[in-house]
A = this chain, B = another copy of it.
Amino acid sequence: MIGNLIKKIKETKAPICVGLDPSLKFIPDFIKREAFEKYGETPEGAAEAILTFNKGIVDRVHDLIPAVKPQIAMYEQFGIPGLRTFKDTVDYCHEKGLLVIGDIKRNDIGNTSASYAEAHIGKVKIGGNSFSLFNEDFCTVNPYLGSDGVKPFIDVCRENDRGIFVLVKTSNKSSGELQDRISDGKPLYEIMAEYVEEWGRGLTEDGYSEVGAVVGATYPEMGRALRKLMPHAFILVPGYGAQGGKAEDLKGFFNSDSLGAIVNSSRGIIAAYTMDGYKDNYDEKGYAEAAREAVIRMRDDINGCI
């Protein structure tokens, strides 16, 4: 699957993905009104509003980008209807030719981890049938439990031609409490990076492995060091834009082939119409058009630096 991502990045000349992390507060009133009229101010209404919002965004950006990254927490917060919208969003993005990175940060041990992996990026067997349920192309994985928790995902990647991104150095302020601790003379995020490189061995396409890493744009020096430690890992880079990461900080996340990283922006794209630099030109009905402009600016900003 990483080969597909590389192909689409080359086609679009855009090493970026759009985070479909809709919070109700970003969703234009006209969309919420229609959904709430139909379903009331209920989880069903919220789920309907999100789906309509997402489709609007996807319709106006799908030709510009290789992939989207829906954050499942923003859907799970609305319970079963929300999770149905997560699944419908994945399907809609696939119809529009986009790859989907499910930002699920799941993890557990052994068979339990395999259950998550099969549900999200593999197939689940029921009697004589098998089903691709959430059907993402990639998903994010939390490594706190060690190899026992990650290897079942890798097995599922191998069987189904999918990929994962393992959390290595996250973009948040307190990520260092655990991830920066020095052990055996090096920070834990470097130790995790060595695992990532090892886990991906033998599972490569076009020089990159199906086992990638998450490294926040907010830590550019660490990104540079991690790039070297994981030469075969694609890096999923959150934290650009709203979280403070700038394009000039991103150069070090890429390899000399201008590949090896995909930068995510969520709020900065999907809520662009509410932000300085956009809100004077777009009203809420123009939210998707503003998202399109924000994608183009982001793409050009990043391409200017790599």
Q: List A residues at the B interface (Cβ < 8 Å).
A: 21, 23-24, 32, 36, 40-43, 45-46, 71, 73-74, 76-80, 82-84, 87, 105-113, 115-116, 118-119, 124, 126-129, 131, 133-134, 142-149, 167, 170-179, 181-184, 188, 191-192, 195
Contacts and interface: CB of A to CB of B under 8 A. Distances in A.
Contacts of A133: 43, 77-79
Q: List the number of copies, as a whole number.
A: 2
A77 to B, nearest CB: 4
A144 B147 contact: no
A15 to B, nearest CB: 23
A108 B181 contact: no
Given A106-B73, A182-B183, A145 B116 contact: no
Given A74-B115, A172-B110, A127 B167 contact: no
Contact of A115 (B73, B116, B119): B73
A77 B124 contact: yes
A119 B76 contact: yes
A130 B59 CA distance: 31
Contacts of A116: 73, 76-77
A73 B172 CA distance: 26
A144 B146 contact: no
Contacts of A182: 183-184
Contacts of A74: 112, 115
A110 B172 CA distance: 8
A77 B143 contact: no
12 contacts: A41-B126, A46-B126, A73-B119, A109-B172, A144-B170, A144-B178, A145-B172, A145-B174, A145-B178, A147-B174, A148-B173, A178-B188
Contacts of A110: 172
A108 B110 CA distance: 22
A71 B191 contact: no
B181 A191 contact: yes
A175 to B, nearest CB: 6
Contact of A129 (B42, B108, B172, B188): B42
A146 B79 contact: no
Nearest to A171: B109
A115 B110 CA distance: 27
A127 B21 CA distance: 19
Given A80-B83, A133-B79, A183-B182, A21 B112 contact: yes
B71 A80 contact: no
A78 B119 contact: yes
B108 A73 contact: yes
Contacts of A167: 144-145
Contact of A172 (B21, B40, B148, B184): B148
A80 B87 contact: yes
Contact of A181 (B106, B113, B188): B188
A78 B116 CA distance: 10
Contacts of A149: 172, 174
